Amino acid sequence: MGAYILRRVALMIPTLVGILLVNFALTQFMPGGPIEQIIAQVQDDAANQPGRIGGGGGGTGDDSGYHGAKGLPPEFIAGLEKQFGFDKPPLTRFLLMLRNYLTFDLGQSYFRSISVLDLILEKMPVSITLGLWSTLLAYLISIPLGIRKAMRDGSTFDTWTSATIIVAYAIPSFLFAIMLLVLFAGGSYWRIFPLRGLTSDDWSDLSLIGKALDYLWHIVLPVTASTIGAFATMTLLTKNSFLDEIKKQYVITARAKGLTEGRVLYDHVFRNAMLIVIAGFPAIFISVFFGGSLIIETIFSLDGLGRLAYESAIQRDYPVVFGTLYVFGLLGLVVGLLSDLTYVWVDPRIDFESRET
């Protein structure tokens, strides 16, 4: 198993390089980069305040190649290029970025006076809260419910729970989030939960227990909203997996030997049926952590990685864009590796190390 883990870790490097390379190449063809945005801002300021750079319209011409830079001194453009590192060829910039990323030096934000790593660490608690709590809640509800639905397949319980799950899956997470705000955050009905944020303004003055309760009070609505889709998918996956195993010959043989349903289910069926459920963990975690984070963070006014990545892409703050992409990609690969290791823990018969690579 040790050799397998080393191989997987080694494969993470070219995978991350490929992800960064594709996105870096795309940014080279995207209009409206950081220098263009600063040029536009300078031109707007100059138009509103005559006498500033470019304000008189009699500049030195446009030799920079940047659209809209007419009237700005060439040394001003050259200074911007050096400040943002665009005075180097693209390949050199990419290789420098990879070298720095090996030591988690993610660079400095173009438009914020903070390093990208510090910025990500500052926003990380919000995304971790949504991702981990939502995934944990989805599994704690879905696995027991899916098992019960499989054991009572075709019953009234199975029918009405399936109808509820289908409705829950059909509701978009943002619509469900808005509904929760309207109902329980003082929108039109009850004011039970706070409207925004992860903590109250007086959180630092609370006791340890008070801080924990305040934190849990704030995450109820956003976590519930981000869980709804994953909960529905995981429940149906668990049910179908158990139904498939229950119909196999070894289960019939176990029952014929006189074993109770509990022993048949948890000593024989559970281990095999859970493999497919574990296989779905990376996809569910990543979809909750990355996919729904932007919408949920925006609706509940949470300042997390989803909003950070979106705002950075709009502002063309490339160090933050690539830094968050690097962290997201690395986290996704690590989660996939942990999922494989969980396979072995659930079923020791699985031996990844003996597979051909």
Write down the pLDDT at residue 53.
45
Is 96 in a helix, a strand, or coil? Answer: helix
The letter for the amino acid at 19 is: I
Is 355 in a helix, a strand, or coil? Answer: coil
DSSP state of 352: G
What pTM did the predictor assign? 0.70
Write down the pLDDT at residue 54.
45
Write down the pLDDT at residue 75.
66
For residues 147 and 245, what is the distance between their CA atoms, to the nearest angstrom? 11
Domain ranges (residues) in the chain: 2-113, 117-351
Work out the number of other CB atoms within 10 angstroms of the CB of residue 202. 9
Write down the pLDDT at residue 58.
44
For residues 242 and 326, what is the distance between their CA atoms, to the nearest angstrom? 37
For residues 58 and 276, what is the distance between their CA atoms, to the nearest angstrom? 69
Q: How far is CA 285 from CA 142, 146, 277, in A?
A: 14, 18, 12
DSSP state of 115: B
Write down the pLDDT at residue 9.
82
Contact 305, 293 (CB under 8 A): yes
pLDDT along the chain (357 residues), means of 10: 78 87 79 67 62 45 54 63 70 86 84 84 82 82 86 87 85 82 78 79 82 85 81 82 82 81 77 72 66 75 81 82 85 79 68 56
DSSP state of 186: S
CATH code for the domain defined by 117-351 = 1.10.3720.10
